[in-house]
Structure 1
């Protein structure tokens, strides 16, 4: 009986330690996705995401979250990311060419049946991204592909997490 109790106590300690290490990898700050009506993304529809930043000393990871089905016709997607910072009326626009698939490997995202989800980092792994001011930030996504509407895109969103 004492051996069983000792083994269970040991397993409990290992589980707690493992959970504490896995929970320290990153801190989710914000994640939101919108569903695209009819699984089509018209270039006039520009979803916006507003979130509040309090900590300007930490580094952050930014991701585009995109879900599409297997009928999506392209290996990539071109997007503009439009950023409005706290206390400013002007915006900054950055263009991205995001790879979703390669000819050799197929879709890069995780898949279930014919649905694929991509969490594509916007911040290179060797770089630090910091928000300069505390306050509300608004990020707007604009698809700039030649096909309009862009078919077979189910959801699009933004994810922000603190780098640890």
Structure 2
């Protein structure tokens, strides 16, 4: 009996030690994700969230999938959001021509496409697949809502997610 207890304790100690050691090892992240709260849940033309992503020289060998995250309340009155996406490349002081992107939030029947909990819905919408970020440095993405209504009600958060999609050919 005493021997089996001792073995269980030793096994638990070994597992805890391995977990502790693993937590000290450096972890390489293969994704960037940041979300920003929309002030008062009313997205005005003046509020333009900025996301800065640093690409290291060794990361330029990869393709990336780029997503916009949207979090809204069930009371949001539209089935989509149009957004202007401005991109500033590393070392470039000027913005590229903004790209107008439609972010679908509901299907034709009005059912929300994202995941929901109570009256809150979250969406991760792809805006570019297998993008090439071939300049090391900081990329700056700015989003601005481009709907007719200003401010745009019931929008809680907007965010950017960039994840590695594999090595470039």
TM-score (norm 2): 0.77
Q: Which residue of 2 aligns with 1:20?
A: none
Would you say 1:74 and 2:72 are equivalent positions?
no
Number of residue pairs matched by the alignment:
135
Q: Which residue of 2 aligns with 1:90?
A: 94
Is contact 2:72-2:154 (8 Å) kept? yes
Taking the TM superposition and a 5 Å limit, the aligned residue runs for 1:1-164 are: 28-54=30-56, 55-92=59-96, 93-104=98-109, 106-124=111-129, 128-164=130-166
SS at match of 1:56: helix
RMSD, aligned α-carbons: 1.2
SS at match of 2:147: coil
Larger Rg: 2
Structure 2 residues not aligned, in runs of 5+: 1-28
Deviation at 1:104, TM superposition (A): 2.6
TM-score (norm 1): 0.79
Is contact 2:79-2:110 (8 Å) kept? no
SS at match of 2:121: strand
